Amino acid sequence: MSLNKNLLLLICGTILGFNLSAQESKINSPEFLKYENSKWVDSIMATLTPEERIAQLFMIPAFSNKDEAHKQEILEQIEKYKIGGLIFMQGDPKTQLKLMNDYQLASEVPLIGAIDAEWGLGMRLDNSISFPYQMALGAIQGEELLYEMGVEIAKQIKRSGLHVNFGPVVDVNNNPQNPVINYRSFGEDKQNVARKGIAYMKGMQSQNLLATAKHFPGHGDTDTDSHYALPQINHPFERLDDLEMYPFKELINAGIGGVMVAHLDIPALDSTGAPSTLSKPIITGILKEKLGFKGLIVTDAMNMKGVAEGNEPGEVDMKAVLAGNDLLEFSDDIPKAIAEIQKAIRNGLISQAEIDARCRKILAVKQWVGLDKYEPIPVKNIEEEVNSPEAQWLNRRLVEASLTLLKNEHSILPLQNLDTLKIASVSIGASKTTDFQKSLNLYTRVKNFQLERDATASEIEELNEKLKDYNLVVLALHDFSIRPRNQIDLSPVVQKFISERAQMKNNIFSLFKNPYVINSLENIENSEVLIEAYQDSELTQELAAQLIFGGIGASGKLPVSIGDKFSAGDGLDLKGGLRFKYTAPGDAGMDAKKLGSAIDSLMQQAMSAKATPGGVVLVARDKKVVFHKAYGLHKYSDTIPVEKTDLYDLASVSKISSALPAIMKLYDEGRFDLQAGIDDYLPYFKNSNKAGIPFRQIFAHQARFKPWIPYWKNTLRNNGSYKWNTFKKDSSSRYPVRISNDLWLHRNYQKKIYRAIKKSPLEQEAKYKYSGLVFYLLPGIVEEITGEDYVNYLDRNFYNKLGATTLTYNPSKKFELERIVPTESDFNFRHEEIHGNVHDEGAIMMGGVSANAGLFANANDLAKLMQMYLDMGEYGGQRYIEASTLKEFTRTQFPENDNHRALAFDKPYLEYRGEDSNTARDASSESFGHTGFTGTMVWMDPQEDLLYIFLSNRVLPTRDNTRLYKLNTRTQIQQAIYDSIEN
């Protein structure tokens, strides 16, 4: 029979005196019912007295954050009355499981354990995951993720020793002022609510965890909280049947095991004014007989004023049993409740057989969830298991799928042309830099401002003045409460600020609040860009920032209507994948545990061996950053921890990160020829022994060039002192090149370096020999070809467009020293600790600007450039270099000469050499990258779409520290990355 027919028959049957037979509906009975007359249930029933069978109908509250006296009180009720179960409230998983094991040991009949875990264990327990609230889940398109969430939540609840989840909430929230359901509902669309509820329920029950739909017959259209008073719903039966009860009917038909009854006064269903929890017409007449529900019927908490007001403890429980409930939670007086039910039996209001049937139902649930074979559950590792990488990734996917883009005028999102944007962010309601702002800064430089919720007019005026310097402003409205309630707690002037900004161009709004708040924000619907994130958490903030820059897309649809501003179902689709997505390893087909534990172990080994005081490791696959972690300290002797945002000296990684992208771009433009020689671009080299040697050979390191020249040694006298005409202690127009605070180099010394390179002899044989000599010349060649300052050219054509704002020379001019990791203590040349300046002596003598060394960056910004290479010249919707060029520059050039190198890029050895190899065993022959003297490594593998970055300062305190090489830390980590890829 079709769903519509069922509904029509139900309504008709109701109008004609409730003559509809439940047997006419196709209902999937709860699975546990098959155990009602099992041998195990029979055996337990035989041990229970009539009084104890009544006691099985009760579930009392238990806390895992209270004292020993509370535990003893619970134990007394278990041993004295043989209660049926416990509902756990606040605490933590580890303590809860320990207690549940103790309680089970004390109980002759296994206890059923329940918890309100509507959005996971985090709803009640510390140190556990909270998945998105149901309002956010209602925005998700499709139900697959809801099923997965149900499975995961079931596993976590069972791991913590429990068996029932009092969820999902399937109330249709059609009252924006609802104080108790609201964000706990999937929304106002009854069909969406039903679909989401069924998926969530089926996921849980697939793991033999009993799901409980609540709050029957529907708590969505109230403006009263039943915890404090009895709400009244004055809709006619037809409306209640068509809307409020619709999801319950669908879940019953789908086989849900439990239904929780709300405390509501519904005259159309029961004219006596009795709370629905105590209403036989509602529970027995409608839920059992008319809807055909045979599963477990549970009361909402019996201590809530919606039912307790005007009803004595004990008596109210008896009334609930008479109404048709099977399981009562939060009874205020168990002995009195038992006595009242016994009295009702004696008075013929209910039979012992009816009590026995309900007891059997509860025992059947216990057998279905596995309590017939109960064994204590191990406590060890519980918190690690309920916070598993798989659960974290699922949570991330749920949040990502919920994000709803309500406005995107002129297709502002995803942001493009970063080099044209000067961006400010304003976090409203925050007093310090938010996770949202930190995440925005992963993509490019963003100036952060905070605006307190009670900011004054003068503070707002000052902020507006500062914002005039920016051509794009990203505003975030944060929540100020634990739960995303429908309230605005902002001063009038802050609300006015929001209203004015919403009407301006180039302002992006992201709301980390209940969507109903939109109706209270004047003009917010007129903003060019409006993102609804539903709640305020670290994860929603991170992902909303990624949405703005195109790291992820948007597919969420508004689950509720917002006045006349937006309708349920509104939401724009936006494609992601434009830039990095910061995500979990599972998102890229990698094992998070293998990846994290292996890298952690290898880094700890390196730091313990004093191979490096710290470092940063970044891993990306399929343009997804799946691992990015900082380790250790800046120096062995200090307490400054390494941060992911810290800048490292890239050393020879500069070779592929500075002049090389410029050269490849000029090659695309036909302005650079690989068959040309140095003399073709620097006439000074005509008539030298290097004239005519093609760049193809030079970049592949088989041009017979000497590996290096110790330029700095030529500046010293035999006694070790500096030559007076080369250095001075103070700067001047003749000595403008800073080597150290007390050492300034003559302005013409760069010419001496050129001369030394020009005059250096050539090796006898044209075979592979690594040489950095030409990279001192490349900045000059780029300037000669382009007529533009070398650094400006790189910034304009690459770094600024990529949003790679820490890729820079001479970083101490732009960044605080605390953000720059020091390198060697130089006792030979500069006689100081190298901090904020390039480690390489030749590069510092070039003013810190060379293609041989000198570039600094944090791992994240360096990754953007490397990802552009990995994507064959494209990133962020822009093409920087032609794919054919990158393929040419990254292929091995002279394999016939036993030379594994590409053009400037390093490649794996032609044959793997074990521990002596330059890469991991599994690095493909297509892979390419480079290493650096200071302990850096970048490597890209197109075959696996894999990017690996390792930054360290292994040269601290001295370059003689070669432990990093001996441990093979960099390549071992690289192999661990390959090992984590799931086939």
pLDDT digits (tens, 9 = 90+) for 541-583: 999 999 999 999 999 999 999 999 999 999 999 999 999 999 9
User: What is the mean predicted confidence (pLDDT) over 490-498?
Assistant: 96
What is the location of CATH 3.40.50.1700 in the chain?
Answer: 403-583
- Which CATH superfamily, name and number, covers 612-616+642-960? DD-peptidase/beta-lactamase superfamily (3.40.710.10)
Name residues whose C-beta falls within 8 Å of residue 715's C-beta, 6 or more positions apart in sequence: 722, 723, 726, 727, 749
Scan for tokens 């634990």, then name that residue.
482
The confidence score (pLDDT) of residue 6 equals 42
Lowest mean pLDDT among 180-184, 373-377, 715-719, 887-891: 715-719
Exposed/middle/buried for 732, CB within 10 Å: 0-12, 13-18, 19+?
Answer: exposed
Residue 819 phi/psi, 5-degree rounding, is -95, -5
> Is residue 721 over pLDDT 90?
no
CATH code, 28-385: 3.20.20.300
Contacts of 964 (CB under 8 A, 6+ apart): 606, 611, 612, 935, 952, 954, 970
The reported pLDDT for the residue numbered 487 is: 86
pLDDT of residue 8: 40
The 10 Å CB-count burial string (b at 16+, else e) for 773-788 is bbbbbbbbbbbebbee
What residue spans of 692-847 are helical by DSSP H? Answer: 695-699, 749-759, 773-786, 790-794, 800-802, 841-845
Q: Which pLDDT score is estimated for 474?
A: 98
pLDDT computed for residue 724 by the predictor: 75
624-637, pLDDT tens digit by residue? 999 999 999 999 98
Task: Write out pLDDT tens, residues 753-795.
Answer: 999 999 999 999 989 999 999 999 999 999 999 999 999 999 9
Residues carrying CATH 3.20.20.300, the chain: 28-385
Report pLDDT for 308. 84
Confidence tier at 927 by pLDDT (50, 70, 90): very high
The per-residue pLDDT for range 191-212, each reduced to its tens digit, is 999 999 999 999 999 999 999 9
615 pLDDT higher than 60: yes
In the prediction, which pLDDT does 829 show? 86
955 and 935 in contact (C-beta within 8 Å)?
Answer: yes
pLDDT score, position 12: 38
Q: pTM of the full predicted structure?
A: 0.94
- b (16+ CB within 10 A) / e for 396-426: bbbbbbbbbbbbbeeebbbbbebbebebbbb
Using pLDDT thresholds of 50, 70 and 90, give the confidence band for residue 713.
confident
**What average pLDDT does the structure give for the chain?**
94
Least confident window among 236-240, 425-429, 688-692, 721-725: 721-725
**What digits encode the pLDDT tens for the residues 442-467?**
999 999 999 999 999 999 999 999 99
Compute CA distances 88 → 100, 326, 875, whole Å.
9, 19, 50
Share of the chain above pLDDT 70, in %: 97
Q: Where in the chain is the domain with CATH 3.40.710.10?
A: 612-616+642-960
Q: Quote the tokens at residue 362.
A: 């509860």
Task: Average the pLDDT over 40-65 and give the result.
Answer: 97
In degrees, rounded to 5, the angle at the alpha carbon of residue 532 between the alpha carbons of residues 531 and 538 is 95
Q: Is residue 403 predicted with pLDDT exceeding 60?
A: yes
The per-residue pLDDT for 550 is 98
State the average pLDDT over residues 677-705. 96
Question: Residue 584: pLDDT above 70?
Answer: yes
Bridge pairing between strands 878-879 and 874-875: antiparallel
Domain 403-583: give its CATH code: 3.40.50.1700
Please determine, for residue 22, whether its predicted confidence score (pLDDT) is greater than 50.
no
Cross-strand bridge partners of residue 258: 212, 296
Q: What is the pLDDT of residues 503-539, one digit of tens each?
A: 999 999 999 999 999 999 999 999 999 999 999 999 9
Grade residue 259 by pLDDT with cuts at 50, 70 and 90: very high
- Residue 7, pLDDT > 70, answer no
pLDDT at 558: 98
The pLDDT of residue 79 is 95
Residue 156 has pLDDT above 80, yes or no: yes
Model confidence at 45, in pLDDT bands (50, 70, 90)? very high
pLDDT digits (tens, 9 = 90+) for 332-380: 899 999 999 999 999 999 999 999 999 999 999 999 999 999 999 999 9
Q: Which of 203, 198, 126, 211 is nearest to 162 (CA)?
A: 211
Alpha-carbon distances of 982 from 91, 151, 357, 594, rounded to whole Å: 36, 22, 50, 10
DSSP 581: E
Q: What is the mean pLDDT of residues 478-486?
A: 87
Convert the pLDDT of each residue in 138-151 to its tens digit: 999 999 999 999 99
What tokens were used for 256?
Answer: 């849900």
